[in-house]
Amino acid sequence: MNSYRIAVLPGDGIGLEVTQAALFVLRRAADAFGFSVSFRECPVGGSAIDLCGDPLPPETLDACKSSDAVLLGAVGGPKWEKSSRRPEQGLLALRAGLKLYGNLRPAVKKPFLAGLSPLRNDAGFDILIVRELTGGLYYGKRGRNSGPEGETAFDTLVYTGGEIERILRMGFAAAQTRRKRLTSVDKANVLDTSRLWRETAERLAPEYPDVTLSHMLVDNAAMQLVLAPEEFDVLVTENMFGDILSDEAGAVTGSIGLLPSASLGAPGTPGLFEPSHGSAPDIAGKDIANPSAAILSAAMLLDYSLNEHAAAKAVESAVWRALETPPLTADIAQDSASAIGTRAFAKKIADFI
């Protein structure tokens, strides 16, 4: 029997509830498919600041490095908005500390959930956004200066050829397992980093002859995700563009409570799996959060980090089967009076495994 160690970082707000829901489903999957999982819970984000003054304590990072995979809930909240150490700093430091350079964010709209989407058309879609995670504006040199014309601020956008190549290869590889279409999103009409990005994509394309490569400027990509999301298969892009576009893609599915993510590095590196939603402090502790994104993130954990592919498919299928018929959680239920809570919906999903 294979045995796996998972570092569990519930974080803040609803992170605690949706993480527990995902662990419940993971245990059911382990029992059904004949492997074992052990969990080590560690603080991160605001809860870690409260506990020890650090959004990513060294002990948490060490536990993550010695695990097979990391499952995270959510970080942040108004309680720490004026703190000198922000909860989100812990998440950035965790990605850097584990050398996780690629973020995979699926956005899927099933026909039976069409009524949730703000889009007028009822076409379904299945998009994967591959976002570079450790370069660009978020990690470049930044600062503020005072001068005769007042205060100025700057953020530096830097990418090396190696950083661009490795994330593009992740995008090409992902497209090979899907519908074999890769859209590289940039701003090559303005930015030198984007011109290097586009040149690198063209250089790599002959190595993936089964994948059709196209380029799209980020402003047009944002528009097309609303007008015709079904036309996309895999999008690959830099850090800030990917952050914005993946949230937009999530919005057009109809509920951010359905969006998982995986952050990956080199082979052998433990992956980080988390729902794309935030900590939602306004509903924390009320047992009403939708755990689907956290549970779908657990399915990605099974698939990408543990290589338990059959179990991953079973968990993903169970989520969609549970979403197909009432009762549903309050964010997607047509009749809020019939909505069920986080724990009950997790049990509904687990019962389909």
Which residues are marked as active site? 138, 187, 219, 243, 247
Distance CA 149, CA 152 (A): 8
**Phi, psi for 280 (deg, rounded to 5):** 40, 60
Distance CA 307, CA 201 (A): 29
Distance CA 182, CA 214 (A): 6
DSSP state of 66: T
The half-sphere exposure of 8 on its side-chain side, counting CA atoms within 13 A, is: 21
DSSP state of 75: -
Q: What share of the chain is helix, strand, coil (3-state, %, to 5)?
A: 45, 20, 35
Among 260, 352, 271, 262, residue whose Cα is nearest residue 314: 352
Write the CB contacts of 230 (distance below 8 Å, at least 6 apart in sequence): 123, 124, 125
